[in-house]
């Protein structure tokens, strides 16, 4: 079954590529990582003592793949195959170049908010509690957390392309500080999702596939380093640098379990777990927005949301994981057929945004599309659309280009008014000089 699963998945990816002309599509970013992990499990994981991916899991994954892929075919037929990605979105570079100061301003708002949040915590609790539960429950919350999220679109754009009109050292320093603000949260997806988004955004900007492949390899290495660094940072703060060094083998084993455990655990979920959680946990952000509009305080908080990832599933005789892919998390909430329906709706939305991006080539849609694809790329880990971060950055991705457009119009109008005033002033002075000369 593994061979059939891999063959059909690659066939669908190839069709997607030929139709869109792009390496990154909603289906490809979901399917490719899971297919590669399945191959690793079949050829290497079994040797290392991991269970195989079950037949039920392969069938379930393949069905969900098809339900995500089908809407793309409908959009392709509806557009008569005319919307292909060909020459890259050069307007992204122009936008970054033109709005570099505005983007840096938003980035520094986020940096200052994040650093203020961090140092306030250290002042109150001490640096040793940075790795504690209370830090993770406190850091990045409230208005300061929203301000940090406001800087994400600027972070994505400025890492993707460094503008020439601003000192390169200033841009790189700002990028480094923002990365630190995100990294110190020790929440891996806060950095991994932006990183996958940046790789996808850079692929839409550049025209050279060789550079794209190079960035993919670099991205894989960086994601691995981020994983190691977050765990090493936590160990070093909590137990000391020497103990952290001695735990590298453990960190590597944990990294391997975390990466490949999803498809294995999915099979165990399908055969063992029948409990369906409340659907409100799956759509926590829209539910919370609804409660906020209605004046209710019955918000779904992190402890409630984490119910999607509390079931520890065995993936070998000695190892367990609470990561079982996006489809496993949705299955525990909606059940088998509900997950297939969810995949269909996800395909409609993601391909809808993708084709709107290809049609309009607007900056906001380009950022939003890249952010969505970046989030879908890590669906081999788990389901992340219950996070406020995902929705808030998506909102800012559309709003920031709109605000920059208004700002540019205001500045342009002011420049025009100043220019007209200067001309009138020069004309007036010239007229006065002529009158004086006549006298």
For 308-389, where are the E strands, in sequence order?
313-314, 320-321
Q: Identify the pLDDT of residue 346.
A: 96
Structural domain includes residue 284: no
What CA–CA distance (Å, rounded) separates 326 from 263? 10
Residue 386, token pair as written in the block: 């219950």
Structural domain includes residue 300: no
Q: Identify the pLDDT of residue 275.
A: 58
Confirm if 201 and 156 have CB atoms less than 8 A apart.
yes
Confirm if 408 and 423 have CB atoms less than 8 A apart.
no
What CA–CA distance (Å, rounded) separates 328 from 339? 9
Closest C-alpha among 181, 192, 188, 331 to residue 262: 331
Q: Measuring CA to CA, how many Å separate 143 from each of 116, 138, 149, 177?
A: 12, 12, 10, 19
Structural domain includes residue 293: no
Q: Identify the pLDDT of residue 152.
A: 94
Residue with tokens 């793949």: 65
What CA–CA distance (Å, rounded) separates 328 from 265? 8
What CA–CA distance (Å, rounded) separates 172 from 176? 6
What CA–CA distance (Å, rounded) separates 114 from 148? 6
Structural domain includes residue 129: yes
Residue 321: other Cβ atoms inside 10 A: 22
Chain segment 83-100, per-residue pLDDT in tens: 777 766 788 888 999 999
CA angle at 302 for the pair 379 and 343, rounded to the nearest 5°: 30
Q: Identify the pLDDT of residue 39.
A: 93
What CA–CA distance (Å, rounded) separates 249 from 231? 12
Plot region of 22 (φ>0 → left; ψ -120 to 50 → alpha; else → beta): beta
Structural domain includes residue 221: yes
User: 61: buried, middle or exposed (CB in 10 Å: 19+, 13-18, 0-12)?
Assistant: buried
Structural domain includes residue 278: no
User: 92: buried, middle or exposed (CB in 10 Å: 19+, 13-18, 0-12)?
Assistant: buried
Q: Identify the pLDDT of residue 343.
A: 96
Residue 103, token pair as written in the block: 């983007």
Structural domain includes residue 165: yes
Q: Identify the pLDDT of residue 189.
A: 77
Q: Facing residues of 321 across strands?
A: 313
Q: Identify the pLDDT of residue 431.
A: 59
The SS3 of residue 50 is strand
Confirm if 382 and 192 have CB atoms less than 8 A apart.
no
The whole domain housing 381 covers 2-273+311-415
The SS3 of residue 313 is strand
Q: How far is CA 147 from the centre of its chain?
A: 17
Which residues does 275 contact at the CB level (< 8 Å), separation at least 6? 332
Closest C-alpha among 342, 382, 388, 393 to residue 33: 382
pTM of the model: 0.86
Closest C-alpha among 391, 319, 401, 369 to residue 102: 401
Q: Identify the pLDDT of residue 291.
A: 78
What CA–CA distance (Å, rounded) separates 94 from 101? 13
Chain segment 419-429, per-residue pLDDT in tens: 555 666 566 66
Question: What is the residue-level pLDDT of the chain in tens, covering all 439 positions?
Answer: 888 999 999 999 999 999 988 889 999 999 999 999 999 999 998 888 889 999 999 999 999 999 999 999 999 999 887 777 776 678 888 899 999 999 999 999 999 999 998 888 888 888 777 766 777 777 778 888 899 999 999 999 999 888 888 888 999 999 999 999 988 876 777 888 998 999 899 888 876 666 666 767 776 777 777 777 766 766 666 666 666 666 777 777 777 888 888 999 898 888 876 656 667 778 888 888 877 787 776 766 654 445 555 567 888 888 888 888 999 989 988 888 999 999 999 999 999 999 999 888 899 999 999 999 999 999 998 889 988 899 999 999 999 999 988 887 787 676 656 655 566 656 666 555 555 555 5
Closest C-alpha among 381, 158, 151 to residue 266: 381
What CA–CA distance (Å, rounded) separates 416 from 410? 10
Structural domain includes residue 183: yes
Total domains present in the chain: 1
How many helices and strands (H and E) does the chain possess?
18, 2
Q: What are phi and psi for residue 362, nearest 5 degrees?
A: -80, 145
Q: Facing residues of 316 across strands?
A: 50
């Amino acid at each position: 079954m593994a061979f059939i699963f891999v063959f059909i998945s690659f066939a669908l990816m190839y069709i997607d590529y030929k139709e869109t002309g792009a390496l990154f599509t909603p289906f490809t970013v979901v399917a490719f990582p899971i297919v590669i992990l399945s191959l690793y499990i079949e050829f290497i994981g079994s040797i290392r003592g991991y269970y195989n991916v079950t037949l039920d899991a392969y069938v379930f994954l393949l069905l969900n793949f098809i339900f995500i892929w089908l809407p793309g075919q409908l959009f392709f037929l509806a557009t008569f195959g005319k919307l292909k990605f060909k020459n890259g979105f050069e307007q992204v570079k122009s936008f970054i170049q033109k709005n570099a100061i505005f983007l840096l301003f938003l980035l520094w708002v986020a940096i200052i908010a994040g650093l203020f949040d961090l140092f306030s915590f250290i002042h109150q609790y001490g640096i040793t509690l940075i790795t504690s539960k209370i830090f993770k429950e406190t850091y990045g919350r409230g208005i300061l957390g929203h301000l940090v999220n406001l800087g994400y679109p600027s972070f994505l754009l400025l890492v993707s392309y460094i503008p020439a009109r601003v000192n390169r050292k200033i841009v790189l320093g700002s990028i480094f500080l923002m990365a630190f603000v995100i990294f110190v949260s020790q929440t891996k997806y806060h950095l991994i999702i932006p990183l996958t988004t940046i790789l996808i955004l850079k692929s839409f900007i550049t025209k050279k596939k060789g550079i794209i492949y190079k960035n993919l390899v670099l991205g894989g290495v960086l994601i691995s380093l981020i994983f190691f660094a977050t765990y090493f940072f936590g160990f070093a703060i909590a137990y000391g640098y020497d103990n952290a060094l001695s735990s590298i083998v453990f960190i590597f084993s944990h990294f391997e379990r975390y990466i490949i455990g999803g498809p294995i655990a999915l099979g165990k979920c399908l055969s063992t777990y029948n409990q369906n959680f409340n659907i409100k946990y799956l759509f926590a952000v829209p539910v919370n927005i609804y409660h906020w509009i209605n004046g209710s305080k019955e918000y779904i908080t992190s402890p409630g949301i984490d119910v999607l990832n509390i079931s520890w599933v065995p993936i070998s005789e000695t190892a367990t994981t609470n990561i079982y892919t996006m489809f496993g998390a949705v299955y525990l909430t909606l059940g088998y057929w509900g997950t297939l329906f969810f995949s269909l709706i996800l395909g409609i939305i993601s391909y809808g945004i993708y084709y709107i991006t290809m049609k309009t080539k607007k900056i906001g849609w380009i950022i939003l599309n890249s952010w969505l694809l970046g989030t879908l790329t890590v669906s081999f880990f788990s389901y992340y659309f219950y996070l406020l971060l995902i929705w808030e950055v998506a909102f800012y991705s559309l709003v920031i280009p709109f605000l920059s457009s208004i700002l540019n119009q205001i500045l342009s109008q002011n420049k025009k008014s100043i220019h007209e005033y200067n001309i009138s002033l020069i004309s007036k002075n010239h007229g006065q000089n002529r009158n004086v000369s006549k006298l």
